[in-house]
Structure 1
C-alpha cells in the first residue's frame, strides 16, 4: 500500500519506512540532503513527493502526526482524512503539564484512531471518544557493540539545558560522585556553562551519526534521568547495544527496563548506588547488559514493530476492529472501556 507520512521525527521515521509498503514523504517536511530519503540505508521504499503532486498519487492511508496535517492533506488532494482517506494519528508525546487531564486534539473524533507509542501515554492522555491503539517503538538494531571500556556514565538527551527538569538535567551532578558523565545530544555543549565548567560533565554533540552508537557503547553504564517525556529511543538503543541501564521509574521506563536488565527507581540514591556497582564490576555490567539487549530485541525489535504497524494500517483501511490490535472505545459513559483486542506481548 502507499502510506503518506511526514518524516518529522528522524529516528522514528528510520524504523517506520523499513516496512513492505511504499512510503510517500512530503517534500516540505524533508530536510535537504537528509540521508536515506529515496535512497539506501533502509529507506529504499521511501520517496519524497511535493505537496502539489499528492493529487496524482494513489494514497491508501495517511499517518498523521500533527493536527495541521489534516488540512495539509486535504488541500492538495481534495480528500478529507478520516472521511475520504483512511487515516490514523500517531502521537509521540506524553500529555502536557496537566498530565492525565490533558485532552488530545483528536479526542472528539470517531473517524481517525489515535496511535500512541507507549501504554503509559495512552493511559494518561484524555482520548475522548476516539478509538486508540498502541504500537510500541521499534529500533533498527545497532548490534551488540557494548565494550564498557570507559568507567564513565553515558547519557543521551537533546537540548538538555532548554528542557532541564523534564529530561532530568538538574539530576546529573548527583551522579558525578560516582563517575564522570558524557552527555551526547543536540546542544549538549551548553552544559559547560550551565554547570559552571564542571569537568565531570562533558557535553558531546559533534559525533557523526554513524559513529555515535559505537562511541556511546564504550561507556560502562547508561543513565536515563528523564522525568516527563515519552519513552526515549536512546534508552531502547542503549539496551540494544548491550548496555546496563539505570533509569528513573517514570512514564514507560518501568515497562521498558525489565527485572534483571537494569535498575529503575524514583530514588536517585538507589540509581547512584546501582551505577556505582556497574562501574566497579564490569563483568556484572556486561552480564546485565546482555540481558537488556535480549529484552530490547524481544519487546522493541524492528520485525515486531513493523508487524504491529501493518495490523493498525490494515484495520484503519478496513474501518473495523480486528485481531491483534489494541483498540478501545473511550466513549463508555463512565463504564469500563471496551477492549476489542489486545497484544499479549
Structure 2
C-alpha cells in the first residue's frame, strides 16, 4: 500500500518500535519539557529512520493521513492543542494498550460512542471487558521488534521478571507474591525501580533481551494487565514462561508445553522449582515457546494486520 503520513505520540516505546516496522512516514511530536508523549524518538532509539520527530508547534504544518491516539490526554487534550481543525477531521485510531480501569467490566472507554474513531485493542480480553459503546472496534495481537538472532540460553538457574515500578504498582503487579516467592526461590526482577527491591535495575531495551536470555525462565506475577510484552519477548527468543493464569494468558501458555500458568501461587512455586531442577525440560518448553511466537506473534503478521486496518480506516484498497 502507499506510504501514509501518520502522527502518533511516543507512549509505549517497545510497542512503538514494533509498530514502526510498518513502513510508513511516522511523525512523533516533541517538546522541550519531554512531557507525556512528547519525547520524540527517545534516547538510543532503534526505530527506523522513517520515524521522525517534529516540534509539537509544527505539527499543524504536516500533510497527514492518519492520527493515532493512545491515552486519554492524547484524545481529550493533545489533539486540540497541536492539531489544526482540518487535521482533527482526519481518519483516526485509538490504540488501547491496557485492560479496563478502574473496574474490569464497567469502565467506559474515553472514545466510546465516537463513530469517527476505530478503537483498536491489543487482546480479545480487553475488547470484551471495556465498555466501548458504539465505537467500532478491532483487535490486533502483539508482536515485538527485537534482535531476531537472540536465543534463549537458560544457563543461569534463576527466574527473572521484566516489569517497571513493581513496588509502586503493588498487588496489581504482584509485588506481594514476589516478596513471598523469593524467600524460597532464586528470583530477580529488571526494570525501572527494580534495584530498590533487590533486582537488577533498568537496562536499555536494545540490551535487555540478551541479559534476560541467560535466565532459566521468565515469570510474570501480573494479576491484571494486558498481555505483557515481556512475555511475548520471552516466547520469541525461545524462553519458557511461568505466569498467573489471568486475562489473556490462558489462551497463550499451555501447561507443560510453553511453560506453566496457574492462579495458585503454591503451584507456581512448584513449577518454578521444576524448571530450576530440569534445564533440559526448560529448553524443550522454550523451543515450543519460540514456535508459538513464530506462529501467533510474528512481526510479519503484526505489520500485515496493521496495514489492513490502516487501509480500511483511510478508505484505501485493503492489501492482500
TM-score (norm 1): 0.83
- Corresponding residue for residue 172 of structure 1: 178
Cα deviation, residue 121, structure 1: 0.6
| Structure 2, gaps ≥5 residues long | 32-36
- Are 2:64 and 2:87, in contact at CA under 8 Å, matched by a contact in 1? no
1:1-345 pair list within 5 angstroms: 1-28=4-31, 29-31=37-39, 34-35=42-43, 41-70=46-75, 71-75=77-81, 76-79=83-86, 81=88, 84-142=89-147, 143-176=149-182, 178-191=184-197, 202-258=198-254, 260-318=257-315
- Corresponding residue for residue 332 of structure 1: none
> What is the CA–CA distance in structure 1 between the aligned matches of 2:16 and 2:319, rounded to whole Å?
25
Cα deviation, residue 211, structure 1: 2.8
| Residues 189-245 of structure 1: CA deviation (Å, up to 9, x unaligned) | 221xxxxxxxxxx31114343332111111111111100111111111111121111
* Large movers: runs of 4+ above 6 Å: none
The 3-state SS of whatever aligns with 2:72 is: coil
> What is the CA–CA distance in structure 1 between the aligned matches of 2:207 and 2:7, rounded to whole Å?
31
C-alpha RMSD of the superposition: 2.1
> What is the CA–CA distance in structure 2 between the aligned matches of 1:47 and 1:271, rounded to whole Å?
44
- Are 1:30 and 1:48, in contact at CA under 8 Å, matched by a contact in 2? no
- Are 2:157 and 2:276, in contact at CA under 8 Å, matched by a contact in 1? yes
> What is the CA–CA distance in structure 1 between the aligned matches of 2:300 and 2:95, rounded to whole Å?
19
| Residues 34-88 of structure 1: CA deviation (Å, up to 9, x unaligned) | 2466xxx34221001122222321100011112332443344422253xx20001
The 3-state SS of whatever aligns with 1:113 is: strand
Number of aligned residue pairs: give it: 308
> What is the CA–CA distance in structure 1 between the aligned matches of 2:73 and 2:239, rounded to whole Å?
39
| Residues 118-164 of structure 1: CA deviation (Å, up to 9, x unaligned) | 11110110101111011111101434421111111111111011101
- Corresponding residue for residue 340 of structure 1: none
- Are 1:258 and 1:295, in contact at CA under 8 Å, matched by a contact in 2? no
Cα deviation, residue 177, structure 1: 5.3
The 3-state SS of whatever aligns with 1:204 is: coil
> What is the CA–CA distance in structure 2 between the aligned matches of 1:64 and 1:33, rounded to whole Å?
17
| Residues 234-259 of structure 1: CA deviation (Å, up to 9, x unaligned) | 11111112111111001111123245
Judged with a 3 Å threshold, the aligned counterparts in structure 2 of structure 1 residues 87 and 206 are, in CA distance, closer, same or farther, namely closer
> What is the CA–CA distance in structure 2 between the aligned matches of 1:97 and 1:267, rounded to whole Å?
24
> What is the CA–CA distance in structure 2 between the aligned matches of 1:220 and 1:96, rounded to whole Å?
33
The 3-state SS of whatever aligns with 1:223 is: strand
> What is the CA–CA distance in structure 1 between the aligned matches of 2:311 and 2:111, rounded to whole Å?
20
> What is the CA–CA distance in structure 1 between the aligned matches of 2:44 and 2:209, rounded to whole Å?
18
